Amino acid sequence: MPCPSSEEVFESSVRSKGDLAGVFEHDGETGYFYLYETSAPEGRKVIGALHVLSGPCALRAADVEIRWADDGSVVGLFIQGRVWAVFDTTTGAEYAGNFATGIGPTLPDRVAAALTVG
């Protein structure tokens, strides 16, 4: 899924408890999905990072959604309605796809169901 151009995109969503946040950042060249600990000191907030894409890509903020499971156990990055990266906060497992190749992550049934992913 190569993309000809890009703008910077930054989207985030805080878990209902307020302790963790899922954050996506694409700076025009590289895109990562992060798991942040909101109460950690500056410079130590990132507790997980998943590479999602490299290279320019015509993403807009409207293309990106960060969705928490109702119980707060998993957080997923959705681009254009499709899941590309997930942090499981219960087990510590991480799942990432490659947006450039169009290959999404392989998710366990429990994780997919928590995010209501087909």
Query: What pTM value is reported for the model?
Result: 0.89
pLDDT beyond 50 at 2: no
pLDDT beyond 90 at 8: no
Per cent of the chain over pLDDT 90 is 75
Cβ atoms < 10 Å from Cβ of 4 = 8
Q: What is the mean pLDDT of residues 2-19?
A: 80
Inter-residue contact 94 to 105 (CB < 8 Å):
no
Domain boundaries, the chain: 9-114
Dmax (CA) for the chain in angstroms is 39
Nearest to 5 by CA among 74, 50, 55, 64: 55
Confidence at residue 1, expressed as pLDDT on a 0 to 100 scale:
42
Cβ atoms < 10 Å from Cβ of 3 = 13
